Amino acid sequence: MKEEEVKQLFIDTGAILEGHFLLTSGLHSPQYVEKFQVLQYPEHTAKLCKALAERFVQDQVELVIGPVTGGILLAHEVGKNLGTRAIFTERENGKMTLRRGFVIQPGERVLIVEDIITTGGSVQEVLDVVREHGGIPVGVGILVDRSGGKVDFGVPHQALLHLDVQTYQSEDCPSCAQNLPITKRGSRKL
């Protein structure tokens, strides 16, 4: 899948929103990507995850893992395409962890998948979990990279779509300076 096709899919499903948003990272942005507008369509999810899997097919992936919530769907579909198990991490007492009896075998080659990154914080937490359990991170597959190329996970990473979106601390946010109402989307409590 070419990047232009991915972007058009997000546009066609109404997943790219304009306004004043509080991101999971705590930053403010004039643009938000509501991935579930795309992921609500199984055929779109399957197509996107197949494209992600194709980017890592040569990496001998043995396990695919993603953070709850969007990462569950992605891990499942990418794992299906790579013929591997698929698991997910969850927060317990504020810390990303494995639950539900999930195990990462020592030396197991693990692909981390994530829906959208801005700062890469959730992916870094999943990488930490993989390493704590003795897994070998071989890469990170991302639907949308909003970081502007600023994130380095220390392993190869591939994104299907790159968006150059401005983000601001609240004190530097032009929308805040104009007293525009802010919308909080996403799932993590700040």
Q: Which residues are annotated as a binding site?
A: 114-122, 146
CB-based contact 17:163 (threshold 8 Å):
no
CB-based contact 104:130 (threshold 8 Å):
yes
Asked whether the bond before 69 is cis by omega within 30 degrees of 0, the reply is yes
Q: For strands 95-97 and 85-92, give the pairing.
A: antiparallel
Q: What is the DSSP letter of 6?
A: H
Cα 78 from chain centre: 13
Binding residues for orotate, as ranges, are: 118, 146
52 contacts: CB under 8 Å, gap ≥ 6: 74, 78, 81, 113, 141, 142, 143, 158, 160
Binding residues for 5-phospho-alpha-D-ribose 1-diphosphate, as ranges, are: 114-122
